[in-house]
Structure 1
Amino acid sequence: MAMVAGEVSGDLLAGRLLDGLTARWPDLQAYGIGGPQMAGHGFRALWPYEKLAVRGYVEVLRHYREIVGIRRQLRDRLLADRPPLFIGVDAPDFNLDLEAALRPAGVRTVQFVCPSIWAWRAGRVEKIHHSCDHVLCIFPFEPELLARHGIAATYVGHPLADVIPRQPDRAAARRALGLPQEGEVLAILPGSRASEVRYLAPAFFQAAARVQAERRGIRLVVPTVPSQTAAVRAAAAAAGLGAGLQIVEGRSHEALEACDLTLIASGTATLEAALFKRPMVIAYRMNRLSFEIMKRQALQPWVGLPNILLRESAVPELLQHDATPERLAGAVLEWLARPDRMAAVHEKFSALHDRLQRDTAQLATDAIEKVLQTA
């Protein structure tokens, strides 16, 4: 079996899926593109997922030749091997084209995570129809949407709702991170991609310095991926942050569980924060041209997953030119000044957790087995 996951969140999703697949088929051998979560289940990575972890039109163009070269090499390898199944985990720009090449050759293709046709790029639905035998959906409204276009799909729940505890243990997380039990903690998550850190970290840390000036004693915890730790440290130092700042590698869930609220880059991490029932300020910056292109294709008024799923502006979103240090700090301070508002969003996120929690590994494995039986 072959798989491709293109970033940290995809590696986590694929690792959960491999839990179910290897339980059903103990002799399963899987290879392709992935990360450490997948490797923990015996997955053999021909390339690390970081090679695909690029977001935005202009940013992708800078890496276009390398990414296309990797896809061509993997396509040729898979067409020669003809594995019975290919699973693309998120990374739709990479995976759908690869699946379109494999499916006519008799390789069954499953896309795990429906591309966000309900948020932007609705025209992509035809590519999904052409490329995928089946789509594993992590949001409950997606199978019906895909069915209108003749695409077979199964709602399998969101695996993060299984991984993240229904009742987070803030005290235990603070002990694990060496944070004091009393006092306020702000988690800062400027993203896992180099482009995200470049565009977001300076504004995030300048905002954090303003928050520290207003809320004496507030602690800052910043989880990073190892490849971005140096850049994160440099941005924090440039903003004058030192005392009260803790940078940790690979511990984003502990940071979210330990904090009172988070300043966070738009993406899967915002859903993780919601499942930890944490108030948040969502922000995003990217290359100006990339932002203008994406803005024109947006189909709804939100970019943050918590707001999209709740169908309301439950948490603030500050995008592009609005993501200034002043406005980011103001939004954080407004949360801290309103404990009643923090409690209300906690209840909304608890209800959302209930909607998303399913036995994802089991449901996904059952759906994949049916796909293989129709081969």
Structure 2
Amino acid sequence: MVAGETSGDLLSGLLLDGLLRRWPDLQAYGIGGAMMQRRGFHALYSSERLAVHGYSFEVLLKLRDILKIRSALRSQLLQERPAVFVGVDAPDFNLGLERDLRAQGIKTVHFVCPSIWAWRPERIHKIRAAADHVLCLFPFEPALLAAQGIAATFVGHPLAQVIPEQPDKQAARQALGLAMDAPVLAVLPGSRRAEVQYIARPFLQATALLLQRLPQLQVLLPAVPALYDQLQALLSELGLSDRVQLLPGQSHTALAACDCTLIASGTATLEAALFKRPMVIGYHMHPISWRLMRRKQLQPWVGLPNILCQDFVVPELLQDRATPAALADAVQQWLTPEAAPQVAAVQDRFAALHQSLLRDTSTLAAQAIETLIYA
């Protein structure tokens, strides 16, 4: 298995739950993170090694290391010939590896259909060459792939199982020592180092503005372990160390506790939607990466909740529009008493979205992999 980034590690851990129920003596190895290793996964390399930000410019800076890892892993897998290879997301890394393995007779599964319906539609040809089977998180994807001759199964989104349909805000606030009667903002600037480089500063500058306007505001900042010190230093630089609660991980607790979240575009926006939280989606990347990405974009939305709802349910402030003042204004609109009807409407949309994604993901995925292995 190969999983890139924190979100891929989470998905892989849930997939391993289903595989281990079917095969208790399963041996799984490759590239992964902490969630996978807790299930006994042997990580030859950390998923952090694959974490990059942007479309091409930042990738080039790490390209030698990434290609070296992929070459070494390819050689090992071709020699050891596992029963199946599962590439979890990270399509730029995994699809090429899957193609080479499949050409040599190793069965391949790609978990998470690349977002060909949102951007880079030419990837369909790479998927067809790479994957014997695709495990899809969204219900419309298998038919799209089948039309291109690619076998696929909708397994639901595992986060829809992990996140309760009715999150307990009071319990989460108690766990974090927060006041019950004051508003709470969760700030999630991403889980990759380069994301934090581009996004964390304007997010926290917006937070500083909000704290001036709303003195009772309580602010949570979950941080993955690799980025904790970086965010702590930024809080100190901006004079926010005493006003922002920096959390070691605990993003789900923060989302359960908050009234609103200021959040970087990515999987975390879907998590926030499943927690039924209004949000402001922001993103910023290197200008070269931004221009390349925009040329490939097929839909007017970038945030997953808006894409899945096919509507601007929540605001998106991207690139030059993601200024501290604009971000603060957009967040403040969710926190006013007058916003109550809009908040309720968003919660209803997200509740329906949750239902559409709710399946026994780990079992369905394991069954699809078993069928492929014994075909």
- Band of TM-score, shorter chain: over 0.9
- Equivalent residue of 2:219, what SS? strand
The reply to whether residue 20 of structure 1 matches residue 18 of structure 2 is yes
Q: Aligned AA for 1:166?
A: E
Tell me how far apart the structure 2 counterparts of residues 238 and 150 of structure 1 sit (CA, whole Å).
54
- Stretches of structure 1 that go unaligned for 5 or more consecutive residues are none
Matches within 5 A, 1:158-237: 158-237=157-236
The reply to whether residue 357 of structure 1 matches residue 358 of structure 2 is yes
Q: Match of 1:105?
A: 104
Q: Match of 1:314?
A: 313
Counterpart contact for 2:99–2:131, Cα < 8 Å: yes
- C-alpha deviations, 1:187-207, integer Å up to 9, x for none? 000001011100011100100
Query: Alpha-carbon deviation of 1:243?
Result: 3.2
Counterpart contact for 2:232–2:241, Cα < 8 Å: no
Which of 37, 41, 55 is the equivalent residue of 2:39? 41
Query: Alpha-carbon deviation of 1:106?
Result: 1.2
- C-alpha deviations, 1:240-261, integer Å up to 9, x for none? 2133310011110000000000
Q: Match of 2:292?
A: 293
Counterpart contact for 2:221–2:245, Cα < 8 Å: yes
Matches within 5 A, 1:56-205: 56=54, 57-205=56-204
In the comparison of the two structures, how many residue pairs are matched?
A: 372
Q: Match of 1:341?
A: 342
Q: Aligned AA for 1:63?
A: K
Tell me how far apart the structure 1 counterparts of residues 262 and 298 of structure 2 sit (CA, whole Å).
25
- C-alpha deviations, 1:338-364, integer Å up to 9, x for none? 122111101110110000000001111
Q: Aligned AA for 2:134?
A: V
Counterpart contact for 1:96–1:131, Cα < 8 Å: yes
Tell me how far apart the structure 1 counterparts of residues 19 and 373 of structure 2 sit (CA, whole Å).
13
Percentage of identical aligned residues: 58
Matches within 5 A, 1:319-334: 319-334=318-333
Counterpart contact for 2:28–2:41, Cα < 8 Å: yes
Counterpart contact for 1:280–1:315, Cα < 8 Å: yes
Q: Match of 1:30?
A: 28
- C-alpha deviations, 1:301-320, integer Å up to 9, x for none? 01100000000000000000
Counterpart contact for 1:14–1:38, Cα < 8 Å: yes
Q: Aligned AA for 2:30?
A: G
Tell me how far apart the structure 2 counterparts of residues 44 and 261 of structure 1 sit (CA, whole Å).
38
Tell me how far apart the structure 1 counterparts of residues 341 and 125 of structure 2 sit (CA, whole Å).
45
Counterpart contact for 1:200–1:284, Cα < 8 Å: yes
Query: Alpha-carbon deviation of 1:238?
Result: 2.5
Q: Match of 2:3?
A: 5
Counterpart contact for 1:211–1:329, Cα < 8 Å: yes
Tell me how far apart the structure 2 counterparts of residues 26 and 355 of structure 1 sit (CA, whole Å).
30
- Equivalent residue of 2:122, what SS? helix
What is the RMSD computed on CA atoms of the aligned residues? 0.7
Counterpart contact for 1:304–1:317, Cα < 8 Å: yes
Counterpart contact for 1:4–1:89, Cα < 8 Å: yes
Query: Alpha-carbon deviation of 1:213?
Result: 1.0
* TM-score under structure 1 length normalisation: 0.98
Query: Alpha-carbon deviation of 1:105?
Result: 1.1
Q: Match of 1:260?
A: 259
Counterpart contact for 1:202–1:236, Cα < 8 Å: no
Q: Aligned AA for 1:131?
A: A
Tell me how far apart the structure 1 counterparts of residues 213 and 242 of structure 2 sit (CA, whole Å).
15
Tell me how far apart the structure 1 counterparts of residues 7 and 175 of structure 2 sit (CA, whole Å).
23
Query: Alpha-carbon deviation of 1:237?
Result: 2.3
Tell me how far apart the structure 2 counterparts of residues 300 and 37 of structure 1 sit (CA, whole Å).
32
Counterpart contact for 1:223–1:255, Cα < 8 Å: yes
Tell me how far apart the structure 2 counterparts of residues 184 and 195 of structure 1 sit (CA, whole Å).
30
Counterpart contact for 1:5–1:90, Cα < 8 Å: yes
Counterpart contact for 2:264–2:282, Cα < 8 Å: yes
Tell me how far apart the structure 1 counterparts of residues 77 and 241 of structure 2 sit (CA, whole Å).
49
- Equivalent residue of 1:165, what SS? coil
Tell me how far apart the structure 2 counterparts of residues 182 and 243 of structure 1 sit (CA, whole Å).
20
Tell me how far apart the structure 2 counterparts of residues 102 and 175 of structure 1 sit (CA, whole Å).
50
Counterpart contact for 1:217–1:244, Cα < 8 Å: no
- C-alpha deviations, 1:153-205, integer Å up to 9, x for none? 00000000000001100111111112122210000000010111000111001
Query: Alpha-carbon deviation of 1:373?
Result: 1.5
- C-alpha deviations, 1:222-269, integer Å up to 9, x for none? 000111111112222232213331001111000000000000000000
Tell me how far apart the structure 1 counterparts of residues 5 and 373 of structure 2 sit (CA, whole Å).
26
- Stretches of structure 2 that go unaligned for 5 or more consecutive residues are none
Tell me how far apart the structure 2 counterparts of residues 70 and 203 of structure 1 sit (CA, whole Å).
34
